[in-house]
Every structure is written in structure tokens, then in C-alpha cells.
Structure 1
Amino acid sequence: MKIIDARLRPPLKDYLRCNLYRDPKKTQAWSDNFLMKLSPAAEQRDAALLYQEMDEAGVTLGVMTGRQSPDMGHVSNDDLMAIVTEQPGRFVGVAGVDGSNPAAALAEIERTVVNGNLHAAGMEPGCGDIPMYVDDARLYPIYQYCMEHGIPMFLMGGGGNGPDLSFSNPEHIDRVCRDFPHLTIVNMHGSYPWIPQVLFSCMCHSNMYLAPDMYMYNMPGVQDYVVAANGFLKDRFLFGSGYPYIPLKQAVDLFLDMPFREEVLPNILYRNMARVLGLDMD
């Protein structure tokens, strides 16, 4: 069975300069919340060990997202494009853009997605120099451009995605889905912890895909995600690890132990994300 990991940050290039790998004690402290221990690849910052870990877990592709955050670090899109070129069978890239400068964001999406080898655009508006909710009007030209050009938009919709808990409230991403009904939106971190609210939003808006990623593991409320994935979200729910916080083999094993219906697993493990990114469904 093929598996696409919707949120995998490898120990390569700019990622190594982010807090994820620069401060392993802090990363492990966060992993403790999920009852996890960092894998040897993450601890040793060793890409070769990660590739072994991916093979052992059966992860076919890892989706990498760019980042521009004063607190969490900077991952350049040039680095993502280089990784995709060097490891085309292992990774696909999502161009990270800074929504506080819409003109620059549009130029970057054109450079790296329309004319480059990245497959989508992504923003973390609450984590930038100027924290914004995802439904901030300043971001709307970016959504409009992506909708018109058929470019999926990955939004950090949950978890620690802003100065306070209000930034993960799904009412904000709900408005974006309403205002741009033909834009494919991937909600990273699945609007955790607002699970019932975001699931209702997904039921109302067929353009929202949900990737709870690391919040699927040993966290309260997971059973509600599973119920939705077995039903109305079977074609829009996405597997993700949140690596390096969650080791890949444990992520896959725990995910497969959840009470998903067998017939939906190919969709949520591979086909749904392949459809979002325009990859070969076979």
C-alpha cells in the first residue's frame, strides 16, 4: 500500500536551521506530549537514516512545506526545489509564502509553482512577523490567484499556529472555504483542538481537506476524526506524521491500528493527497 505523508520535515538544508532540528531537547519535550521519542534520524539529523525510516514505514512520498517564521525558523523554497530535484522519488514541495506581502507572495508562487517544480502554495499567517488570521482580507488576493490557477493552498489551521488559541478556531478557515469555493484548501494540523467545529465545516465545504497529522497520535478527540474519515470525509482526509515529532513507523502503525474502514485506507493514506497534488493515482 502506498503512503503519502502530508507533513514531513526532513533533516536537510534549511530545515536543519529551524527549531525542529536546532533544539532537539525542545523538540523531544514537545514529542513527549504525544508519548513519543524522536527517531535516530531526527536525533542525529541524518537524512540517510530518514530514508531508511521511510522505507521501513512504507512512506512513498513526504510532503515538505516552506516556512517563514521569526520564531520557528525559515525554510526557503529554493531549498525545497533543490531537495525535490535531488530526491524526486521521496519528496514533493509546497511553496511557503509570507502573506503580509501579497505582491511578493504572488511572485513567489509564480516562480516556484507555476514555473518551478513545487506542487502547491502554503501559508502560516499566524506565525509570521505580522500575525494574521487566515481570513484576513490582505490574504485574499493570494487565494484568488491560486483558485484561478488551480493551485492548492496549504494553511496551518491548528495547533500552535498563532499567538493564542483563537488562531486555530476553524471559523476563520471556514470563511476562506466559503469565499473561495473552487480553491482546494488543505487544513494542516486539522484545526486542533476545535475538532467538532472543523468537522462540521468540512461537511459544509467540499473544498477543505483535513490533515490532523501529529494530533492523531495519543491525543484526545482522535475518535471524532476517525468517524469523519470513515464517512463524509473519506475522500478528503489525509494521513500525516508531523515528522520529526512523530517517528514514521510508529505513526503508520498507530494509524493503521485505528478503526478505519479498510476500504477508505487507500484514499486517506495515498489517493486523496495524490489528487490534491496532481500526482499519478496509480
Structure 2
Amino acid sequence: MIIDVRLRPPFKGFKQQFSPAGNKAFSARFGLTSPESVQQISEELMLREMDEAGITCALATGRNGHFRYNVPNDDLVEMTAHYGGRILGAAGLNCADVPQAMADVEKYVINGPLKAVSMEPGACPVPRYADDRRLYPIYEMCQAHRIPVILMLGGRAGPDVSYSNPEIISRIAADFPNARFMVSHGGWPWVQAVLGVCFWQENIWLCPDMYLMNNSGVQDYVAAASTWLQDRFMFGSAYPLMPIGESLAIFKSLFKESVLPKLLYKNAAELFNITIS
């Protein structure tokens, strides 16, 4: 049983992230091969790749207010039905329009089928840091309703590396101690710093996804996830930027068997309230 918490299928608005040449070049930077499902932008081949890897279900994050492209939350609702619940959704929030973002939380998560919210404030046309006080009403709402908040803090989370600084999530997690935050891209390249934050602040989960693949900082992630962080660390393939099968094989090779059930599905099932029969 495996839950991939960062996967985007070739469905409606998500197709904008499928660029055969670009995806191939990106995977190659990590020494990996872009799969045929990406090269052909094939839904059928992606599902086959998931089957071959043993992926039980996946979580796709929406995008709204992003400077490059957007995936409407209505697409995610339709996606959930289209895949029969095998690919679940997190509502993408427009961090430049807080009232609309809160309305989307109400519509798509509290009263809808989506499992979480996803925020990329550094990717707004006018970038914001995730601890910008203007965003606090969203966090307060999510805390009140026990809705997980996925924050992209790592990689290219903004115009420069400061938008991924772990001081940001440390401040937010302290101000909302009963909220639950997942840091996608794992705070990379601030690996030791974000792990230091997670050591003391237990309402933060990490998913390094592609930055765990043949990359610097891997052993620090592994040391933490093998011991004190094993209940708050998750697998994400970052498909279509990375291949599902190869990414999963690398992930499994890094950890001892005793912690893999938590990292591969138990932690994600608990955080996102996913029931798997």
C-alpha cells in the first residue's frame, strides 16, 4: 500500500505541466529517465506506471493565482470523480485574494470532496512570503476545521531562495499550533535548518519529493525520517517532473523496512484523512 502525495496527472489544467522535452531534461538532472507516460502525455500509461509501482492512490495539488499557470479547483473535483477516487485533490488557493481563497476552502474542502489546501505564495505575480500576515485568516480557518495546509517551501518557491527559508514555517507553525502543515519540496536546500524546525515543532510534516532523489541533503532527511521524524515524513514522486517507478525505488532503498509503512502510506492516510480499504 503506497500513497504518492505529490503527483499531477495529464488531466485538464494539469496538462500544462507536461512538456516532454522539458520534463525529460529535468528528470535527467537527477540521473533519472522521464517515463513514456510523460513523453506521450498518456493517462493510460500513467495509470499503468502507478500499477506497476504499487501506488494505491495519489494526491494532486491545484494552483490558483500562480504566475505561470493555473488549475481550477473545479478541475480537481472532476479529476477525483474521473479517477474513481484513486487520485485525490488539494484545493489550490490564490494567495493574492484572501477572501476568495477562504471562499474556496469553504466550497471545495469543508463542503466539497477535496482533502487539503495548497498554497504557493512566493509564486504569485507579486510574490508573498508564506508568513505574510495577510494570509493568516486562511491559516486560522484551516486550523479551526482541521484542514491540512500544503505549503511549497523549497526548490523554486519564489523569486529567490529566501522564500524557502525554514524560519517562515517555524513562525507560522508557532502562531497556529493546532494547525497541520505539510512542506512540499521539503524546505530544500535548507535541509538541516528545516529539520531543526521540525524537531521542535510537531505540527509540521515533510515531503521532499524530487529533492530526495540522488541529491544533496538526502542523508540528513533519511537520518531524521528513520528516527524522530518517522511519523511526519512522506513519499511524493513529483510526477510528471520525475518518474513514479524510479522515484519510488530510490525512496525505498534509503530506508529500513521497519519505517517504510509509515513513510509510504500511514502518515499520509492520517494527515489527509484517507481511508484505504
The partner residue of 1:101 within 94, 97, 119 is 97
Q: Which residue number in structure 1 is paired with residue 11 of structure 2?
A: 12
Partner of 1:112: 108
Deviation at 1:251, TM superposition (A): 1.0
1:152 to 145, 148, 170: 148
Aligned residues: 277
Give TM-score scaled by structure 2 length: 0.97
In 2 relative to 1, CA 186–237 (structure 1 residues): closer, same or farther, beyond 3 Å?
same
CA distance in 1, matches of 2:232, 2:111: 27
Which residue of structure 2 lines up, in the alignment, with residue 68 of structure 1? 64
1:263 aligned to which of 233, 258, 262? 258
8 Å contact 1:100–1:138 — kept in the other structure?
no
DSSP-derived class of the 2:60 partner: strand
Corresponding position: 1:251 with 2:247: yes
% same residue: 43
Hey, which bits of structure 1, 4+ residues long, moved more than 3 A?
Answer: 69-72
| TM-score, length basis structure 1 | 0.96
Q: Is 2:209 the counterpart of 1:210? A: no
Q: Secondary structure at the match of 1:74?
A: coil
Distance in structure 1 (CA, Å) of the matches to 2:73 and 2:137: 20
- Is structure 2 residue 185 aligned with structure 1 residue 189? yes
| Residue 166 (1) aligns with residue 145 (2) | no
Q: Distance in 1 between matches of 2:66 and 2:78?
A: 23
Q: CA RMSD in A?
A: 1.1
Alignment of 1:57 with 2:57, yes or no, is no
1:81 aligns with 2:77: yes
| Unmatched runs of 5 consecutive residues or more in structure 2 | none
Structure 1 residues 200 and 33: alpha-carbon distance in aligned structure 2, compared to 1, 3 A threshold = same
Range with greater deviation from structure 2 (249-258 or 192-201): 249-258
Contact 1:66 1:122 (8 Å CA) reproduced? yes
In 2, distance between residues paired with 1:37 and 1:128?
Answer: 31
- How far apart are residue 37 of structure 1 and its match? 1.9
Q: Residues 281 and 182 from structure 1, CA distance in 2 versus in 1: closer, same or farther, beyond 3 angstroms?
A: farther
Moved more, 267-276 or 82-91: 82-91
Gaps in structure 1 of 5+ consecutive residues: none
Structure 2 residue aligned with 1:227, among 223, 227, 236? 223
- Residues of 2 paired with 1:13 and 1:109: CA distance? 21
Q: Give 2:235's aligned residue.
A: 239
